[in-house]
Amino acid sequence: MSKRISVSKALGEALREEMQRDDKVILMGEDMAVMGNVFGITKGFLEEFGEQRVIDTPISEAGFVGMAVGAAMRGIRPVVELMYNDFAPVAGDAILNQAAKMRYMTGGQATVPLVIRAPMGAGRRNAGQHSQCLENLFCHTPGLKVIAPSTAEEGKGLLKSAVRDDDPVIFLEHKLLYAKKEEIPDGEYTIPIGKAAVKREGTDVTVITWSRQVNFALEAAKTLEGEGIQAEVLDLRTLVPLDWDAIVESVSKTHRVVVVSEEVKRGSYAGEISAQISEELFDELDAPVERVCGLNITSPFSPALEDLNFPHAEQIAEAVRKTLNV
């Protein structure tokens, strides 16, 4: 059996189910309790679970993320929301120097079972300080797991797995996916961290991507099919740990690769994946790896300019044609 709900509702279900399952799970963040989150994901949670487990915080990311790290080290399982992933640098020390490194620096004596939910992405006319994709910052830091789902089913299943994980997890949610309605399974389920998913099979080229760009990649693949090109779309879902086996399997079949992400192209995680493929799978490649990313600019407020700032299906299709030399 299945049901049709939005991505935001699916994420809310995951949080509610995990809080019902384990009374050590708590929620923290700005406007999480009384308001129920600016996107409505935790609406009603305060009444159901009480103010000891659903906590409105001051506008101080450094303060409440640091508090969550300490709570996690003492056996609590905090799920912290940064209202936008753009605010992560404010809590940089707590995330990058404390949460990420604590297990290693204590020789495994301390764990940090912390989830940081972080809405990301452009397209909502939120301008430069509320529209970034910063996955490269988190993926660069050893000790953090990084998840970026593209569907309601995967969002719910992966968030539940993240809450149960004993290491810190950065859970990136594209804001323009929240309203998308999809079928998800009824009842209890989880999706393992570190496993990619082939969203469309193909034989001519592999398109590797994640989050909202999966939708654009699938749209591009449909267009290319009309031109006789069969593109395989590989949704990483988890960025760290990277499902390298899935990449190897797909690239060994298609021998051509396009890596797509919304993040700024310079210093992007897409660039890291491209480099790794070029270094380790060189003999499998029939053409250089192509990369399609956001422009190296601050996200504009102007709707027309903002929409030109991140990849769409047309840019992905053109990169595929380039790698196929057609």
- Read off the tokens for 199: 């969203």
Active-site positions?
130
Specify the pLDDT at position 126.
80
Specify the pLDDT at position 127.
84
Q: Terminus-to-terminus CA distance in the chain, angstroms? A: 44
pLDDT digits (tens, 9 = 90+) for 26-51: 999 999 888 878 788 999 999 999 99
The residues pairing with 216 across neighbouring beta strands, listed in sequence order, are: none
Other C-beta atoms within 10 Å of 176: how many?
17
Specify the pLDDT at position 323.
97
**Residue located via tokens 């301390």:** 110
Backbone angles phi, psi at 324, to 5 degrees: -90, -5
Backbone angles phi, psi at 147, to 5 degrees: -125, 140
Specify the pLDDT at position 20.
98
Listed in order, strand segments (DSSP E) in 64-191 are 77-81, 115-120, 145-147, 169-174, 181-185
For residues 54 and 268, give the distance between their C-alpha atoms in angstroms, rounded to a whole number. Answer: 35
Q: Name the 3-class secondary structure at 206.
A: strand
For residues 94 and 26, give the distance between their C-alpha atoms in angstroms, rounded to a whole number. Answer: 18
262 and 239 in contact (C-beta within 8 Å)?
no
Specify the pLDDT at position 131.
81
- Read off the tokens for 73: 């080290």
Specify the pLDDT at position 196.
98
Specify the pLDDT at position 34.
87
- Read off the tokens for 208: 């590797």
| List of domains in the chain | 2-185 (3.40.50.970), 197-324 (3.40.50.920)
Tell me if the bond preceding 241 is cis, omega within 30° of 0.
Answer: yes
- Read off the tokens for 74: 């003492």
Regions of the chain short of the pLDDT cut 70: none
For 54, 159, 250, 276, the CA distances from 25, given in Å and listed in that order, are 9, 13, 38, 37
Tell me if the bond preceding 303 is cis, omega within 30° of 0.
Answer: no
**Residue located via tokens 């906590």:** 55
pTM: 0.95
- Read off the tokens for 289: 């790896």
Specify the pLDDT at position 259.
98
